[in-house]
Amino acid sequence: MTETIAKKVIYACTKCGEAYVALQSRAFVKQAKSFRCRLCDDVVLRWIGDYDFSDWERALTRQHMNAHT
């Protein structure tokens, strides 16, 4: 039995706090990969092994972007 259903996961950039949604799925080839923040270019996640992460997009939480006027 192989689990092929992708699961949505959220990771936040530890540097600027931007949140990203990615699809987690089983990886069949062990390959070191990483995803960098599109805002500050810091590494949000590095992974290797049983799971792969794809379809990175910004999570729709922009409260912290609101300017305090």
10 or 40: CB nearest Zn ion: 40
Q: Taking CB under 5 A as the rule, does residue 40 contact Zn ion?
A: yes
CA–CA gap between residue 7 and residue 20 (Å, rounded): 14
**Count of positions on this chain that bind Zn ion (CB under 5 A):** 8
Instruction: Give the chain's radius of gyration (CA, Å).
Output: 14
Shortest gap between Cβ of 26 and Zn ion (angstroms)?
27
Q: Which stretch binds Zn ion (CB under 5 A): 19-27, 32-40, 51-59, 60-68?
A: 32-40
At 54, list the tokens: 């794809």
- What distances in angstroms separate CA 30 from CA 3, 12, 58, one per listed residue? 17, 24, 26
Binding site for Zn ion (CB under 5 A): 13, 15-16, 18, 37, 39-40, 42
